[in-house]
Structure 1
Amino acid sequence: MKQYAAALALVLCLTLTACGVREDNRGQGLFQRTSGVEEDAVLLTVDGREVPAWRYFYWLERCCGRLREQYRAAGLTLDWNAPVEGGTLADYVKDQALADTALYATVENWADFHGCALDEEDQAALEAAWAEKTAEYGGEKAYLQALAEMGLDRARMEELTGVGRLYAKLYSLYCQEGSALAPEPEALEAFAVEQGRITVDQLFFAAGEDREAARQRAAEAFARLNAAEDLAAEFAVLAAEVPEEFDTFALGDGALEETLEAAAQALEAGQCSGILETGEGLSILFRVEADKSGVEEEYFDHLLQEAAENAAVQLTEAYQALDPADFSAGLVRAG
């Protein structure tokens, strides 16, 4: 299963605004009519959690719909057998829907393991969301019709939305220091480095034809830094004075030569290196205080995605026999 651009697919179930309302009402049997599979039958398991067919079909319908729309907008004919990396377009949407399904099941598995469950506050929130959406659609009948076009009813919609609330509870637990889900600082730091969120500033004094003059300039800059009350501010002043000698690098991106990279990795945030001499010249490095806004949530989503991708997924014969092209064509005919 592939990781998608969005950190989580959970958000879309909180709004359910992607589909318009058609005049017909296809009812709750939409997926069974287009697949021939009983909607409440177990289609697959994720780390032992049984997943009913309708949940997978919900994601498959969305993946097929997006692909049809992309081809329509481009003025191209959709060929489900067209080759893509890893198979065909049909394989692609089937795998994407499976990844979304596994992600939701993994959230539920994590919630069970960590004792997170929906409570009265969550149930009240679901009631309020229902009331808001029915008002938005002009009444319950119209909203139910819109849900039916996605193969959902109220219970199914609230089941999916409930997973979003479980996700929020898990993230809250993850943010609690010392909890079973709290990340190790070292792991979070390593992830921030991988994402290019930790940077190092460099003052570089090119040796050119006069290495001794470069050493003198580096020594003068280093003396000013040593005397500074605010190291970051003084480093910025030096950088502004001679901008051609200043640069910023992300740790771990390979842009710094090996010796300088090792020195940068050894620095603490807000710390300055000594004068580092290489063949090209002399450098002074400053480890910038990392802007980790959003890194904690990104790392949580990374862990969740990783768990979903590595989950033990057991597929039934009905899943194996499923043809996304036939399924999509059936949805189009039903519309």
Structure 2
Amino acid sequence: MKLTTRMLGVALSAAVLGSALAGCGSTAATFTELPLPSEVPEDIIMQTAGITRDTALITVDGVEVPAEEVLYWVSSYADQYAAWGMTDLTMDMGNGQTLGQYYLDSAVETATLYQLMENKAEELKLGWSEENQTSYDEQVQTMKTSLAQQAGLDPETQSDRVDTELVRLISYMGLSQEGFFHINQASFLYNNLMEGLYGTEGTDAPDADKLNEAGVFHAKHILIKAEPVTDADGNVTDDGMAAEDPMTLFDQLMAENTDDVDSSGNVNGGTEGYTFGPGEMVDEFYEGTKTLAEGEISQPIQSQYGYHIILRLSADNEAGYDKYAQVKMQDQIDQWMDEAQVERSETLESLDLQAFYDGLTTLRSDISAASQADSAPAETTTPTETAAPTETPAA
């Protein structure tokens, strides 16, 4: 499995936030420890896996990664497959690998990627900053506001209840507050590294030549879901776009004729078109753009979507710089992953993953029940039934 920056983003979405590093020359990261609800153990991993949460399961270039972080990724992958009804971790995947082994290998690779973000940020002095801390604190507050709305709580007058729900959510993930805080470093550290290395002020800042070398292009197109006009020999005839002002004419024809539109009929990519790197467009579109000079319009180029008439534009702009940084950072991550020295502990190899996931499922049930109980309206006392008046005997 090749991890990409897109996967990095998805993983962080599962954990909600991104944050924190006290690297060389950087600002110390901080978070507020909140009280544990009664149903949450102090060490979730000890209760579910039988080892302490800070037990090192792997090392990445000599840096230990604790059990709770590796097992967080195991549970994340298991949750995805459980949604499809696949809960037996002993199931054979058809290649001699069980479902549990697949989860574990995937978790080790993801944990390696996240630890590399910390290792490299510290090494390159691109770690935690005051801006990162401010953004982190804002995201925590946004998260609390969302939880308050979902639970029908007032974040001002019921802040303790909101804090409890936040801790419950973190615990539901199988993480301590410290683990949650630490595992969410990667998003900020990725951005710090990308900007410091490949941003406009980075050590490998982009220019027109570097954009081209990295395969970053900018183009707009007209997509025609029809056969192109050809002559008797099968050659594509003149596309009719020769004009004194081809840019304006192209925009007009694109608005009038392209089939690349969204559900509302608006042109996808808008009037600016697309800025893209390798692998983001179908090969025919990508290669067709690559062969054009800036300002040149192509003959119709066929792909699985139809026929594209492409106008290549300059990528020497902010969107191009951002794309360049993303492309270069992905290449750098691939290199770091290939070069990383990863060691797996004996404890990791002997873990009973089924027992861990079953234990986590039970804990989640307890957490959910406690949350629902807190949200239930208070019971009211049933009024005492008034006795019927005594009938007066007839005289």
**TM-score class normalised by the smaller sequence:** 0.5 to 0.7
What secondary structure, in the 3-state scheme, does the structure 1 residue paired with 2:12 have? coil
Residues 185-334 of structure 1 mapped to structure 2, 5 A cutoff: 188-189=211-212, 205-208=229-232, 218=238, 221=240, 225=242, 228=244, 230-235=245-250, 253=282, 255=284, 265-272=290-297, 287-289=311-313, 295-296=323-324, 298-299=326-327, 302-303=330-331, 306-307=334-335, 309-310=337-338, 311-334=340-363
Q: Kindly indicate which of the two structures has a greater share of residues assigned to helix.
A: 1
What secondary structure, in the 3-state scheme, does the structure 2 residue paired with 1:314 have? strand
Letter in 2 for 1:306: D
Asked if the contact 1:269/1:289 (under 8 Å) is kept, the reply is yes
Report the Cα distance in structure 2 between the residues aligned to 1:168 and 1:10, rounded to whole angstroms.
Answer: 13
**Cα offset, 1:317, TM superposition:** 1.3
State the match for 2:180 in structure 1: 157
Mark the structure with the bigger radius of gyration: 2
Change (3 A) 1:240 1:68: closer
Q: Which runs of 5+ in 1 are unaligned?
A: 17-21, 244-249, 277-283
RMSD over equivalenced CA pairs, Å: 4.6
**Cα offset, 1:66, TM superposition:** 2.8
Letter in 1 for 2:343: Q
Asked if the contact 1:44/1:316 (under 8 Å) is kept, the reply is yes
Asked if the contact 1:90/1:324 (under 8 Å) is kept, the reply is yes
Change (3 A) 1:45 1:79: closer
Change (3 A) 1:15 1:210: closer
**Cα offset, 1:322, TM superposition:** 2.6
**Cα offset, 1:44, TM superposition:** 0.8
Report the Cα distance in structure 1 between the residues aligned to 2:140 and 2:77, rounded to whole angstroms.
Answer: 25
Change (3 A) 1:42 1:188: farther
Moved more, 175-184 or 27-36: 175-184
Change (3 A) 1:287 1:98: same
Relative CO higher for 1 or 2, CA cutoff 8 Å, sep ≥ 6? 1
Change (3 A) 1:79 1:324: closer
**Cα offset, 1:113, TM superposition:** 2.6
**Cα offset, 1:45, TM superposition:** 1.6
Letter in 2 for 1:43: L
Residues 74-105 of structure 1: per-residue CA shift (max 9 Å, x gap): xx664631315683321222223223212211
Report the Cα distance in structure 1 between the residues aligned to 2:59 and 2:77, rounded to whole angstroms.
Answer: 20
Which residue among 109, 112, 117 is the counterpart of 1:99? 109
Letter in 2 for 1:295: K
State the match for 1:10 in structure 2: 12
Residues 57-76 of structure 1 mapped to structure 2, 5 A cutoff: 57-71=71-85
State the match for 1:122 in structure 2: 132
Report the Cα distance in structure 2 between the residues aligned to 1:30 and 1:267, rounded to whole angstroms.
Answer: 58
Compute the TM-score of the two structures, normalised by the length of structure 1: 0.67
What secondary structure, in the 3-state scheme, does the structure 2 residue paired with 1:267 have? coil
Change (3 A) 1:153 1:130: farther
**Cα offset, 1:3, TM superposition:** 3.1
Percent identity, aligned pairs only, is 20
What secondary structure, in the 3-state scheme, does the structure 1 residue paired with 2:57 have? strand
Report the Cα distance in structure 2 between the residues aligned to 1:44 and 1:190, rounded to whole angstroms.
Answer: 37
Report the Cα distance in structure 2 between the residues aligned to 1:37 and 1:316, rounded to whole angstroms.
Answer: 13
Residues 101-123 of structure 1: per-residue CA shift (max 9 Å, x gap): 12211211221132112234434
**Cα offset, 1:266, TM superposition:** 3.5
Moved more, 118-127 or 129-138: 129-138
Q: Which runs of 5+ in 2 are unaligned?
A: 19-35, 149-158, 259-275, 301-307, 365-395
Report the Cα distance in structure 2 between the residues aligned to 1:25 and 1:45, rounded to whole angstroms.
Answer: 32
Moved more, 290-299 or 112-121: 290-299
**Cα offset, 1:180, TM superposition:** 2.5
Letter in 1 for 2:68: W
Residues 194-230 of structure 1: per-residue CA shift (max 9 Å, x gap): xx9757779965221698xx87xx3x94xx72x51x2
